[in-house]
A and B are shown apart, each in its own frame.
Chain A
Amino acid sequence: MIIRIPLVLLAAWWFATTAWAASESYGFPFDDAFVATVVGTPEEYRADLPEKIPLKQARLTVFEDRVVPDYLWYEGDLRYSYALQRRAAPLVFLIAGTGASHIGAKNQMMARAFYQAGFHVVSLSSPTLPNFVVSASKTSVTGHAVHDAEDLYRVMELVWAQLKKRIEVTDFFVTGYSLGGFNTAFVTWLDEKRQVFNFKKALLINPPVSLYNSISLLDRMLENIPGGIDNFNAYYNSIVAKFSEVYRRADRLEFGEDFLYKVYEALQPKDEELAALIGLSFRFSSAHLVFTSDVMTDFGYVKPKNVRLTRNSSPGELIPVTFRLGFTDYFHEYFFPYYRAQDSSITRDGIVEEMSLTHIEDYLRSAEKIEVMHNVDDLILETGEIDFFPRVFGDRAKLYPRGGHCGNMEYRDNVAHMVNVFRQ
C-alpha cells in the first residue's frame, strides 16, 4: 500500500505532464478559434505540398432525363475533378464541405496531399453546392444525411465507371471535411450495404454531430453584424472601407497566398467581427442552396410557385429575401414539409435526430475503418458535443487542442496525420 500510492501519483503526474507536453508541442499558431477558422494556416506553417498536380476537370450527366430550369441552364452537368497516378494505386474520394466545390481551396489542398502520397484522387463537390443540387441530387432538396449519401454514392459509381478503363486501383478510401466529413460517415455506412467500393478506410475531418445544432449555431453567428442583417448594407460598406484601408496602405498586396493573414494582421479584428464573417460565409452557402433548390422544385419557398425565371431573368428582390433567411428557416419551412409530404410518418423531432451522427452511432462505434480528426475548440459544435467522438470512436478519434473549424487542416501535422491514416 505504501509503495502503491506514490506509484499512482507518479503515474498520474507522468500522464498529466505528457498530455500537457503533447498539447504544447502542437505548433498550430492561433489560440483563438475564430481567428483560426477565418485566417486558416499561415504559409510558413503549412505542409510542404507540390504546387501543381495534374488535376483534370470533368463533367458528368448523372440523370439522363433531368429537366434543367432555364435560369440554371449552365448547371446541367455535374462537374468534378481527378488526378491519376501512372501505376496501380489506391484511390481516395474527397467530399467538400458546405457549399464548397470540388476545386475549392480545401479540396485542392487535400488533392495535392494525397496525390503526393501516391493516391489516385477524385474530388467531389458538396451536395449543398448548387451544381450538385441541380445535376446530381435526386430530390434537389439537399442536406439530408441519407439521401445525400445515396446521391454521392451514385456519383462515385458513375465516376468510377468512367475511370476504371484507365487506371488500376488497389483499394478505395473516402474522406471529407465539415459537412463533407458528415457525408463521409453516411457514405461509408451505405457502402457496407452496397459493397461497391468496400472502403478500406474513411476519415471524417471536423464533422458536425447534429446538423440541426450546427446550423442553429451558424445562423446565430450573423447576429454579430452590428444592427443585424437589415443593416447589411452599412456593414458591407464598413468591411469594404477596412479592406480598402489595407489595400491602399500596402500597394503590393495581392489576393492569394496569405492575403487573409495579412489583412488579419493589419486589422486585428475582434471575435464578434470574425463570428459575423463566418456567419456570413455560411449564409452565402445557404442562400445559394435554398434558392437553387426552390427554382428546381418550384416548391414556393421564396419564389412564388409558377413564376418561371428565364435565362435572362433578374431575381430582383428575391435575392435580399433569400439572404434574410437562414439554414433553420430552410429546415422548418421547406426541408421538413417537403419530406413530410412524401412520407407522412416523418416528425420534426424525428428528422432532426436522423440528421445526426448519433443516428448511426452503433455502426460508427463498431466500424474500425472509420477515423476522425477534430478540434476541441471547433465552432460548429455545441458545448460538450466534441465528447461524442472519443466516446464513440475511442482511439480512432484524434483531437487537436486548437484550430477552430477546419482552420488547421493545412497545418503540417494535420496533413501528415490525414495521409498516415490511409497509409497504415
Chain B
Amino acid sequence: MTTISRIVSRLRPFALIAALGLAGCSTAPVQKGEIVEPAFAADRILQEDVVYQAEATISDPWQGFNRTMYRFNYHFDRYLFLPVVRGYQWITPDIVETGIHNFFRNLGDVTTLINSILQLNLEKTMNTTTRLALNSTVGLLGFIEIASDVPRSDEDFGQTLGYWGVGTGPYLVLPILGPSSLRDGVGQGVDWYARSVIRDELTDFETWQDLAIDLLWSIDIRANTAFRYYETGSPFEYELVRMLYTTKRQLDVER
C-alpha cells in the first residue's frame, strides 16, 4: 500500500464521524411560545463599546460540529475509553505502568526533538537530544527515566507553525483527541506521520503491531490526562474549555 492510501484508510472512520457531526449543526436556541423579557435583558446589561471575551478573540465557525463532537467524546470516554483505561490500570502493576508511560514519553521526545530543530531552538534541541540518548540506552528504550535532571519540553508541529507565525485558525474539537484548532490539528497529523515514517524505518512491524502500539499509546495518554468531560461544573464548559485551550496553546507557542 502506498503511504497516502494507508493514511486515507486510517482516517476513514474519522471522516464518517465528521460527516455525522456536521449534520446537526444549528447552535441557535429554540422558541417555545411567547418570549418574555428577562429580569436582566442583554441589551440592558451589555454595552456596545465593551469587548466580551469569547466571541471577540476566538474564531469558532464550526461550532455546531464542535459541540456535537464534544458530546461524542464524552460518550466515547464514558462507555469505552475510560473503562478500558481503568481495566488497563487494574491489570498492570504500577511499576510496569510507569515503565510504559516513560517509554511513550521517550517516544514523544522524538517529536519534541524534530520540532525544536524546526524552531531553531538550540537549548531545547540539546536537552532533548541528551534525554533521548540517555533514556534510550541506559534507560532501556526509555522504560526507565534516567535523564530526569535534564529539562523536558513538549514541542509539536502546531507550536512550530505558531513559532513561524501561522495563526491558530478556527477552533476545532477533534474526535477522541478533543480540543484543538485547525493549525494544531494539522500539526498533530504531521507529527503522527513523522513518527510513523521513523517507525517504519527502524522496525519491521506488521500493520496490526503498529496499531497495537498506537492503541497502547492512546491508553497511556488518557490514563495520564486528568481532564473529564462535563466535570468542570460549568454550564458554559464548552466556552470555558475553548478559552483555556486557546490560552494554554498561546503560552506553549511563546514558551
Q: Which residues on the A side are within 8 Å of B45 (C-beta)?
A: 320-321, 324-325
Is the C-beta of A301 less than 8 angstroms from some C-beta in chain B?
yes
Q: A236-B53, A291-B235, A321-B45 are in contact. Are A311 and B71 (CB under 8 A)?
A: yes
Please determine whether B233 and A312 come into contact, CB atoms closer than 8 angstroms: no
Find out whether the CB atom of A307 lies under 8 angstroms from the CB atom of B236.
Answer: no
Q: Are B28 and A313 neighbours in the complex by a CB distance under 8 Å?
A: yes
Determine if B203 is an interface residue (Cβ-Cβ < 8 Å). Answer: no
Check A252 against B151 for contact (C-beta < 8 Å). yes
- How many Å from the CB of A57 to the closest CB on chain B? 10
| A74 lies within 8 A of B51 (CB) | no
User: Contact at B251–A309, with CB atoms within 8 Å?
Assistant: no
Pick the residue among B24, B54, B235, B239 that contacts A312 (CB under 8 A). B24
Residues B235 and A310 in contact, CB atoms below 8 Å apart: no
A288–B28 CA distance with the chains assembled, in angstroms: 20
Cβ–Cβ contact A302 & B39, under 8 A: yes
Tell me if B79 counts as interface (CB < 8 A to partner A).
Answer: no
Nearest residue (CB) in A for B37 is A304
Please choose the segment from A2-10, A106-114, A190-198, A240-248 that sits at the chain B interface, where 4 or more of its residues have CB less than 8 A away: A240-248
Query: Nearest CB to that of A307 among chain B residues?
Result: B29
**Contacting pair B56 A300 (CB below 8 A):** no
Q: For the complex, is B204 an interface residue (Cβ under 8 Å from A)?
A: no
Closest approach, in angstroms, between the C-beta of A71 and any C-beta of chain B?
7
- Of residues A232, A295, A313, which shows the largest number of chain B Cβ atoms within 10 Å of its Cβ? A313
Indicate if B36 sits at the interface (CB-CB under 8 A). yes
Pick the residue among A240, A311, A329 that contacts B247 (CB under 8 A).
A240
The reply to whether B35 and A306 contact each other, CB–CB distance below 8 Å, is yes
- For B255, list chain A residues within 8 Å (CB): 244, 247-248, 251
In the complex, the answer to whether B42 meets A321 with C-beta atoms within 8 Å is yes
Whether B53 and A233, one on each chain, are in contact in the complex, defined by CB atoms closer than 8 angstroms, is yes
Residues of A within 8 A of B188 (CB): none
A303 located at the interface, meaning its Cβ lies under 8 Å from any Cβ of chain B in the complex: yes
Enumerate chain A residues within 8 angstroms of B74, measured Cβ to Cβ: 74
Task: State whether A312 and B152 are in contact (beta carbons under 8 Å apart), knowing that A307-B31, A317-B52 are contacts in the complex.
Answer: no
* A317 in contact with B28 given A248-B254, A251-B153 (CB within 8 Å): no
Contact assessment for B251 and A333 in the assembled complex, using a CB-CB cutoff below 8 Å: no
Contact, CB under 8 Å: B40 / A333: yes
Choose among A131, A230, A304 the residue that contacts B38 (Cβ–Cβ < 8 A): A304
Separation of A171 and B113 alpha carbons in the complex (Å): 58
On whether the beta carbons of A319 and B54 are closer than 8 Å, the reply is yes
Decide: B40 and A320 in contact? CB cutoff 8 A.
Answer: no
Given contacts A312-B68, A320-B53, A301 and B38 within 8 Å (CB-CB): yes
**B 27-64 contacts with A by CB, 8 A:** 27-42, 45-47, 50-56, 63-64
Say whether, besides A131-B233, A300-B39, A317-B42, A308 and B31 are in contact (CB < 8 Å): yes
- A333-362 interface code vs B (CB 8 A; 1 in, 0 out): 110000000000000000000000000000
Interface mask (B211-255 → A, CB under 8 Å = 1, otherwise 0): 000000000000000000011011110110000000100110011
Instruction: Determine how close the nearest CB of chain A comes to the CB of B80; give it in whole angstroms.
Output: 17
Chain B positions within 8 Å of A226 at CB level: none
How far does the alpha carbon of A317 sit from the alpha carbon of B250 in the complex, in Å?
25
Cα separation A230 to B51 with both chains bound (whole Å): 8
B92 to chain A, nearest CB (A): 15
Residue from A130, A320, A329 in contact with B235 in the complex, judged by beta carbons closer than 8 Å: A130
Q: Whose C-beta in chain B lies nearest to the C-beta of A284?
A: B234
**Chain B residues, Cβ within 8 Å of A240:** 247, 250-251
Q: Which residues of chain A come closer than 8 Å to B196, judged between CB atoms?
A: none
Return the contact of B239 from the options A99, A301, A311, A319 (Cβ within 8 A). A319
B1-37 contact mask (Cβ, 8 Å, vs A): 1 or 0:
0000000000000000000000011111111111111
A22 within 8 A of B: no
Report the minimal beta-carbon distance from B203 to chain A, rounded to whole angstroms.
32
| Cβ of B131 under 8 Å from chain A | no
* Contact between B235 and A317, CB atoms less than 8 A apart: no
B75 CB → nearest A CB, Å: 10
Most buried by A among B52, B54, B247, B254: B52
5 smallest CB-CB distances across A and B, nearest first, come from A305-B36, A320-B52, A314-B27, A306-B33, A74-B230
Give me 19 A-to-B residue pairs in the complex whose CB atoms sit less than 8 angstroms apart, sorted by A's number: A74-B74, A101-B233, A103-B231, A129-B233, A130-B233, A233-B56, A240-B247, A243-B251, A244-B255, A248-B251, A288-B234, A291-B235, A304-B35, A304-B36, A305-B35, A311-B71, A314-B27, A314-B63, A318-B42
